[in-house]
Structure 1
Amino acid sequence: MFRWLLLSLIVLLLVGCSDSESTNPSAKYQYSDALVLRGQLSHDGKQLALVIEGPNLALWDTTSKQVLMSLSETQLPEQIRALVFHKPTKQLLVAGDDLVQFWNTPNGTLQGTLSVSGVDELARVSQLAVSDNGSLVAIGFTDGSVSIANRNTEKMNQFMPHSSNVIAIHIIEDRLMIVTGSHDGVVNAWNLQTGQSYYQQEYTSRLSSVSVSDERDKIFVADSLKTQQVLAVDDGQVLNELEYITRFKWFRQSLFIPKTSLLITSTPKSELSIWDTSSGKEKFSWQIDTHSLGTTLLDMVIVDDTLLTLNSEGVVESWTLSKMIADL
């Protein structure tokens, strides 16, 4: 009993040590008073898409804090399954059960639609990704299938890399590679033209987060039980594994800090952590803004030296990374 009390005290002291000025956001703004069902920040942090009940969608300019585009439920799919910004083409992709819409931003014109379906007739869209140049759109489904639409040739290929809900898609076009993760517990790196698998890694429970570094050299994979690993993109070799005292811990979001060995993760609710992937050690943890027990992190992006976080109450917070990692 004494050992557990001592351990608890040490943990509390460590948490207390992270409660410094570096964990205070440099800026904070609430974009919606309504509960946000889905939200997405653009890669440069200049735009924000929020979906609330209806569904209704609002596109915000995060600099002016003004609504750029507003879409009503009559303009949108009945259920919105995924959102993706593609800044080079000034488009916001909105996916419903079996339809992908291409909206021009910020003028709010519908530039086209794409009807999609999984292998199973009951499958629904679960994930969406766009290649850097915008020519390829990858659509993941709840049955484990993935469709890849080439917008230049108007051709679509369908593959079956998984047996269950696809939760992550990353297109690495210069290597003809696509990395996908699923609730079947498998991360799969495969050829986006042929569907042939380069390698797979299997885990004991369903995957909760799969991210790829900006340098396209590392993959972070987290299952929903107790295993979180860093893999090499080229061959899937396990480079390291996260270590912590908590017996069961899983992550909803993950993001590599560019040009470092550091990784940011979020719990299912509101706690963020910074990890050193070279050692697997947790270096820092803090909380995003919460107004209720149900508050959760919806999205996060890194823009230069700033981490932007979006929560389910429509609050965007800015965190200065150099202050956070200065002593790590």
Structure 2
Amino acid sequence: MRIISHSVLWLIVIGLLNGCLFSTESEQRWELALEGSTAIALSRDARFALLYSKQQHLQLWDLEQNKILSRLGIQDPDENIISLIRFSDNGRFAITATQTNFAIWDLAWSQSTGLWSVADGLIQDIALGNSGDEVLIGLSNGKAIFIDLVTGRRLEFLAHVEKVNSVALSPNGKYALSGGNDHNGYFWSTESGQILQRFEHSQRVGTVELQRDGRYALTSDTGNDAIIWDLQTGDKVSELSTWTRQLIFSSARFSDDGKRLVTGSPSSRLMVWNTETGKRLEGYEVELLKDVRPPRGVVYDAAFESNQRVLSASSAGVIQAWKISE
């Protein structure tokens, strides 16, 4: 009986440990910048990647064909380091940013449509609408600024009282989500500035994300609270659950149908979640940039290629494709 009980206990322990393990075996990989990258973004369908490195500057890749489509070069004459890159939801446009300026790129023509400077705070995060004209910026001074570059309309959202860490914009540019050091996430209208939903946390909100159809929002703080919300009701749908002590994210994206969420961390971890239950479905460990001490691998972005695969883009300058088994 003692042997049997020990065996059962051992099986339970193994099962728990397996739930914490992270796979390091990717199905496919693309080496885009062997020297590492300061920013990489993936298009929503995971076909295209836009990355910046000091040596190669800004490059647009077609991952399906495994080739460079365009070498876009530098963002500004001073060759400031690009730290943020985001695609529009439709993949036609992209926005890149340093701490003090940003540029919009028309990827169909492989050219910049303009360069703009920001004077009243450091850029913490950016987002871009499908038209390539609607920009949302989160700043270190507590402002979230929405700009229509065609009309020149500028709306300053001032509900945050401390640094805005993360922003997300609906594809049509009409709705915004912002999170900051004041422990709040706000879902608001870019047309009126009206707050539609407020999501309170006990610690600083570091990551926010919108589901493209406006069904869900993610707000995640710097502690262990990562919550998926119903945007229509403001109610909590689920809370992400894991054995990890802290859930600090560097990227997040919902699947097109909203049933899954993929998150990346500053510590090289990629995770796929069930939106309705908050349970982790998969866990992966991305490649590290090895020529630094200690080795590091920030997951800058992730995107669902299909129901069977998810792609990660990390600071190692490598894109990896991972199999989703559930």
Correspondences of 1:154-173 after superposition (within 5 Å): 154-172=152-170
Correspondence 1:217 to 2:222: no
Correspondence 1:99 to 2:109: no
In 2, Cα distance between the equivalents of 1:310 and 1:303?
13
- Structure 1 length as normaliser, TM-score? 0.82
User: Residue 317 of structure 1 corresponds to which residue in structure 2?
Assistant: 320
Correspondence 1:252 to 2:250: yes
Correspondences of 1:1-328 after superposition (within 5 Å): 9-15=14-20, 24-53=25-54, 56-62=57-63, 63-66=65-68, 68-72=70-74, 75=77, 78-86=80-88, 90-105=92-107, 108-118=110-120, 123-172=121-170, 176-259=174-257, 261-290=259-288, 292=290, 293-305=295-307, 306-321=309-324, 324-325=325-326
In 2, Cα distance between the equivalents of 1:166 and 1:227?
18
Write the letter of the residue equivalent to 1:92: A
> Percent identical across equivalent pairs?
19
CA contact (8 A) 1:55 1:73 kept: no
How far apart are 1:223 and its partner, in Å? 0.9
In 2, Cα distance between the equivalents of 1:136 and 1:260?
24
Identify unmatched segments of 5+ residues in structure 2.
1-5
* Cα-to-partner distance string for 1:48-73 (whole Å, 9 max, x where unaligned): 22222379322333224225114147
Most deviating of 161-170 and 189-198: 161-170
2:154 match: secondary structure: strand
How large is the RMSD of aligned CA atoms in angstroms? 3.0
How far apart are 1:314 and its partner, in Å? 1.1
In 2, Cα distance between the equivalents of 1:75 and 1:12?
51
User: Residue 3 of structure 2 corresponds to which residue in structure 1?
Assistant: none
CA contact (8 A) 2:266 2:297 kept: no
Q: 1:75 to 1:89 in 2, by over 3 A?
A: farther
2:288 match: secondary structure: coil
In 2, Cα distance between the equivalents of 1:222 and 1:171?
16
In 1, Cα distance between the equivalents of 2:316 and 2:303?
17
CA contact (8 A) 2:26 2:322 kept: yes
In 2, Cα distance between the equivalents of 1:50 and 1:271?
20
How many equivalent pairs are there? 312
CA contact (8 A) 2:123 2:139 kept: yes
Write the letter of the residue equivalent to 1:170: A
CA contact (8 A) 1:179 1:188 kept: yes
In 1, Cα distance between the equivalents of 2:104 and 2:260?
34
Identify unmatched segments of 5+ residues in structure 1.
none
* Cα-to-partner distance string for 1:181-232 (whole Å, 9 max, x where unaligned): 1232210011212222122122111122212223321112211111111111
CA contact (8 A) 1:55 1:80 kept: no
In 2, Cα distance between the equivalents of 1:40 and 1:192?
24
Q: 1:129 to 1:246 in 2, by over 3 A?
A: closer
Q: 1:266 to 1:11 in 2, by over 3 A?
A: farther
CA contact (8 A) 1:55 1:79 kept: no
In 2, Cα distance between the equivalents of 1:215 and 1:109?
29
CA contact (8 A) 2:41 2:85 kept: yes
Write the letter of the residue equivalent to 2:270: L
* Cα-to-partner distance string for 1:265-318 (whole Å, 9 max, x where unaligned): 233222222222322322332222335431221111123343221111111112
- Structure 2 length as normaliser, TM-score? 0.83
1:258 match: secondary structure: coil
Q: 1:169 to 1:74 in 2, by over 3 A?
A: closer
In 2, Cα distance between the equivalents of 1:26 and 1:195?
44
